[in-house]
A and B are shown apart, each in its own frame.
Chain A
Amino acid sequence: MIPGFTLELILYSTALGLVSIGLAGLVLSHHLFRIVLALVIAEAGANLMLVLAGYRWDAVAPILTTLGEQPQMVDPVPQAMVLTAIVIGVGIQALAVSILIRIRQRYHTLDRNEVAELMDAEIAATAGTARDVSQEAPLGERPIPPITDDAVQVRGGRS
């Protein structure tokens, strides 16, 4: 093994790398489904970090086999927490995918910017205001091409 590259460095880098890859994917992707996948990757990293928190050299799985003297076991608490976290993640992902299906059916696109624009137009149409700059969220980075009134009508009417 290369000196300096200990097992712990590799494992921690894997966990953090997964989180970083996920976050980068969240920022870089334009397709909403890919963004959801990036989220899944980042979550895997966080879960791995949680498992590593309870890892122990030369220890066995925390299942009792005999009464009395026990061998060394890894920490059971992070394992239970990871079980919980994974199930939570599955629930949220399934929900995200079902929302994506509906968006795809309504808007026929899953591009992040297009979808956001269509949404803004629809909100403005529902509220009865012209689309204006105040609809930018405080840190939003949506490119806003001017939208004419009839475009608002067409897009807003599709709901």
Chain B
Amino acid sequence: MNEHLVLTIALPLLGAFLLPIIMRSSLAMGVWIGPVILGYGCWILANLWLHGNEQPFSIAIGGFAPPLGINLYVDAMALLFAFATQLLGLIFWPFRLDQDTPKRQALMLLLVASSTGLALSGDLFNLYVFYELVAVSTFGLIAASSSSAAYVATIRYLILSGIGSVLTLFGIALIYAQTGTLNLAHLAQLAPDQLNNDLGLAAFLAILIGIGVKAELFPVNTWVPEVYATAASRLSAFLAGLVSKLSMLIILRLLLLIFHQPEATQVILILGILGVISGEFAAWRAKDMRRMLAFSSIGQLGVIFIAVALPDERGVLAVLALSLHHMLIKSGLFMLADHWGGSLERLRGIATTSPLAAGLFVLFALSLVGMPPLPGFWAKFTLITELAGQTDPLYMIGLLVFLLATVIEASYLFRVAAKMYQTKPTDIVRSNSPDSGSLSLTTASLFGAGLIAATVMVSPLGDGLQAIAVQAQDVDLYIQTVLQQPLGEGQ
């Protein structure tokens, strides 16, 4: 049963290869392939979640025992993110039918497969391969909206992410030259002796910048506003909601397992703080919805980076809570942006014409700002208590910046909300693509319902996340799970 987990990666790839061929002969059958594969993936993962025992396990791909071959490492955190990937892939499935449908859906399947791989893989170079696959399929999907601006946004994103992948590759080469292995568990075993030095730090920084491109890390996030403004909203929601979190997950894993230098966490903390400041101020000045969301996403990922820099399992808990919360909220908000489209000015008085959408916006905004009892409050509360408990003055700065950011966030979100509830409706606002308007509103409502459900179940959720965080933080468990046999004996 456990072995079948690999199907969540293999089947989407198979589907992507075959989709263009099948669609040419039968479109009616082809359109069901993607959703069915992703639904099956959700089913596998949910089954594993419900019926599996609590212990993490590792799957050796190709039957080669881990340090030699590639393995998938499956713990609660990986399962959670893999499930979120398949589910969000299903929710944001590109249904639209036109001549590009086969290619677009194939790329989406590749994107989901590689994102699942990012969540599960336990090998450094394999992570790089999946990361590049995420990048390339994303480029195709952004450019598929085929406006000139989308092409420019894509090429700028491609160049930035190319720099990132060169640096990542370089970091991997340094690590391999030093240790002679790529398996994360094996590296975790060797790291205290071999990577706790300048070379390890340089390799980590190179990989951090590389992976940070997708995690919207401060200096390499210039692509964010352009891409989110030109790509289809459903894709932006997937990228902002999920792909950024998966990159964050990789950084967190590397930090927990391999790189224990205090400088590494300091760099992340500083970059996170800068990201919060730059993102929130830019969001405050933004004049259209998508840009505002893009910049605020940079800000919130900065906050998550601050949480990543925290040392113990409470820090991991904060990362998980903030990530999941942001995943829910940002996906919902992007769907609302799809429903409305256009500049913030056009939202004036919209509450009278579409009260549900305006209500959802207020709900999301309240949770984002951290109004109790919504889940956002608990996520932020965890971070604040944890930051306040640190002695290093840098964390104090982090705390102050975080509080300031919350104030700015509240200011621009409620400015928009106030605009919506003004009595004077000017002209009737129509979405850019009227037929997708109702669909995106339905999707947004789905996320709203999820948020309310999370509010109701906040204490069992908190306990669950706590358990996940404790498990994720256990380096010895990771090493023992993956490296059951000593090197050389084979399977």
List residues of chain A with CB under 8 Å of any chain B CB: 19, 22-23, 26, 32, 35-36, 39, 42-43, 45-47, 49-50, 52-54, 75, 77-78, 81, 84-85, 88, 91-92, 95-96, 99-100, 102-103, 106-107, 115-116, 118-119, 122-124, 126-130, 132-140, 158-159
Contact = CB atoms under 8 A, between A and B. Distances in A.
Interface string B144-182: 000111011111101100110111011011101100101
A95 B136 contact: yes
B358 interface: no
A134 B291 contact: yes
A130 B287 contact: yes
B139 interface: yes
B352 interface: no
A127 B158 CA distance: 23
B447 interface: no
B333 to A, nearest CB: 16
B386 interface: no
B172 to A, nearest CB: 7
Nearest to B128: A85
B346 interface: yes
Q: How many of chain B's residues touch chain A, expressed as a range? A: 35 or more
B158 A95 contact: yes
B125 interface: yes
A10 to B, nearest CB: 16
A129 B173 CA distance: 46
Interface of B: 125, 129, 132, 135-136, 139-140, 143, 147-149, 151-156, 158-159, 162-163, 165-167, 169-170, 172-174, 176-177, 180, 182, 218-219, 221-226, 229-230, 275, 278-279, 282, 285-291, 295, 298, 341-346
Nearest to A119: B152
Given A42-B163, A95-B158, A159-B148, A138 B279 contact: yes
B343 A128 contact: yes
Nearest to B142: A99
A139 B282 CA distance: 11
A134 B285 CA distance: 5
A101 B258 CA distance: 43
Enumerate the 7 nearest inter-chain pairs by beta-carbon distance, A residue then B residue, closest first.
A138-B278, A53-B177, A134-B285, A137-B222, A119-B152, A127-B288, A129-B343
A119 B173 contact: no
Contacts of B289: 127
> Which of A124, A128, A140 has the most chain B CB atoms closer than 10 A to its own CB?
A128
Contacts of A49: 169-170, 173-174, 177
Contacts of A75: 180
B155 A26 contact: no
A39 B158 CA distance: 10
B65 to A, nearest CB: 15
Given A50-B173, A138-B282, 13 more contacts: A32-B159, A39-B162, A39-B166, A42-B166, A49-B173, A54-B176, A75-B180, A81-B176, A92-B158, A123-B226, A127-B287, A137-B222, A138-B275
